[in-house]
Structure 1
């Protein structure tokens, strides 16, 4: 019994820490506001591979063998699809937080659960509760109000939330463990990302690599390290999240996932002084209300499961 409580506490702590890291991520990318998003994405993918290899070595795990990959070609193909979906989501997120659009990033991850609910119904046969149906309607009203008021779709937010939800759906069908699948996702895109960086450097179009091997005295090593750092900065919360999954309930994970967009929202409004007008206020309020209803509905179920586990001594 104490062991179970300890595991749950560790899982909750790991999950909360993961979402906190995701939440403060815009602070790191404020050092890269003049960066080219394509180059930034290529750096993130390229240096994700050696970072993940280091994670394998640190944890004492074996790198995935060729035999393992051949034995499950379907999962390898799904990792390829997942890498593309995550690439689009991260590209949108990176562009947003380096171009003064942190509120758009916040909105994207607030509406992500609504996309996830819809995909669960369409592809996994999930049944919606009354709160989830109402949350979907309120979220749709919030987005519709924004479209009606601004006369355009919030493309950045929709791309972030939608493609990240598709990424989550894809991951449900991958049979590799989380660390292996994340490594494969980066490795599959590595040739394209590395090739793109080499082309940028050779054609003198790279910002981070400008002057490398040519003028060592004037070369900005600090800027290069910041570009390279986007890999561990974006992967660390993902690893903590993967560790949390097996140590706590999905219900608790679902409740804590709003830490990230809430922090994005606070950073955007209080620190980055982004414009928060009446239209955004109404849209966010509708979406928040729907998510609050889902959270309140989930709490009794969470308490019931805890009570059942306690009674069973699990």
Structure 2
């Protein structure tokens, strides 16, 4: 019994560390895209899709895993179709996110990921039959109030944040119905879009409209490398997250996911000097309050995990 407990605790600790590291990488991502101000987002998305495939192949090789075979994909055509749908949904979310952080809107990106759990809760109720707890109901109400106050004050919807949050939640919902493991599904998603990305990049090159290739031909190879690097930079945290989710609890994942938008918020205000006015302060405060209530509700799960960790340490260092 002690041996099993030790293994479970060790696995949980490893999962927590991997999850925290993945959210840390996601949170620091604006620092990378800060070197691509006013980037051509269409071309950047195409490069990201095209070079995702060789990167994922490398991940499979390094992990000693076999790549998904054609027979495996044919055996579950429904999951392949859902991977196609998930890839299109992710494109919208990623496009919005990348546009935001390359056009001085890191605060909008932060807001998008802060409100993402609220969209995820709503989708869970609508499509998965989830029941809301009291804290989740309050979080939805407060989040709605925060967005409504911003709309009332600015006279327009925060489209970037809403598109990021909603489409990322839709992506998560879609993944619930895909029977492939996380790494396989990410690879299939990239494979399905790769031909379209390649054709688009060839068209840009042939019509002399490619920003990255033109820069490289002019001697600025760093721009091309940054465009290509968008694939591993965005996929590395996803790989760590895929490994983490198998070894830790969803409650811990839910709590740690706020590392990402919190870092982006700090970068936007402290490093990029984005304007943080009273309207944003009130809206963020309402959303943060709701998320704090959900986090406090998950504390019993954290206490259980701490108890398991103490047991693990006791078995390693018996008195």
TM range (shorter): over 0.9
> How far does residue 6 in structure 1 lie from its aligned partner after superposition?
1.3
> How far does residue 34 in structure 1 lie from its aligned partner after superposition?
3.1
The match for 1:139 among 128, 140, 143 is 143
Q: Give the number of equivalent residue pairs.
A: 309
- 1:17 maps to 21
Matched, 1:234 2:238: no
What does the per-residue CA deviation read over 1:181-233, in whole Å, with 9 as the maximum and x for residues that have no partner?
A: 00011111111111111111110111101176xx5xx4322221111000000
Matched position secondary structure for 1:209: helix
Pairing 1:148-227 to 2, within 5 Å after superposition: 148-210=152-214, 218-227=218-227
RMSD of aligned Cα (Å): 1.8
Matched, 1:291 2:291: yes
The 3 A distance-change label for structure 1 pair 250 and 294 is same
Matched position secondary structure for 1:32: coil
> How far does residue 302 in structure 1 lie from its aligned partner after superposition?
3.6
Matched position secondary structure for 1:229: helix
> How far does residue 48 in structure 1 lie from its aligned partner after superposition?
0.4
What does the per-residue CA deviation read over 1:131-172, in whole Å, with 9 as the maximum and x for residues that have no partner?
A: 000000000000000000000000000000000000000000
The 3 A distance-change label for structure 1 pair 298 and 176 is same
Structure 2 spans left out of the alignment, 5+ residues? 312-319
The match for 2:128 among 124, 129, 152 is 124
Q: Distance in 1 between matches of 2:189 and 2:14?
A: 27
Q: Distance in 1 between matches of 2:190 and 2:282?
A: 38
> How far does residue 57 in structure 1 lie from its aligned partner after superposition?
1.3
Q: Distance in 1 between matches of 2:309 and 2:78?
A: 36
The match for 2:88 among 84, 87, 100 is 84
What does the per-residue CA deviation read over 1:241-275, in whole Å, with 9 as the maximum and x for residues that have no partner?
A: 00001111111000000000000000000000000
Q: Distance in 2 between matches of 1:252 and 1:115?
A: 19
Q: Distance in 2 between matches of 1:42 and 1:296?
A: 41
Q: Distance in 2 between matches of 1:54 and 1:301?
A: 36
Q: Distance in 2 between matches of 1:73 and 1:4?
A: 35
Q: Distance in 1 between matches of 2:50 and 2:270?
A: 34
Q: Distance in 1 between matches of 2:8 and 2:308?
A: 13
Matched, 1:253 2:253: yes
| TM-score (norm. length: structure 2) | 0.93
- 2:314 maps to none
Structure 1 spans left out of the alignment, 5+ residues? none
The match for 2:119 among 115, 119, 123 is 115
- 1:46 maps to 50
Matched position secondary structure for 1:187: helix
Structure 1 runs of 4+ with >4 Å offset: 304-311
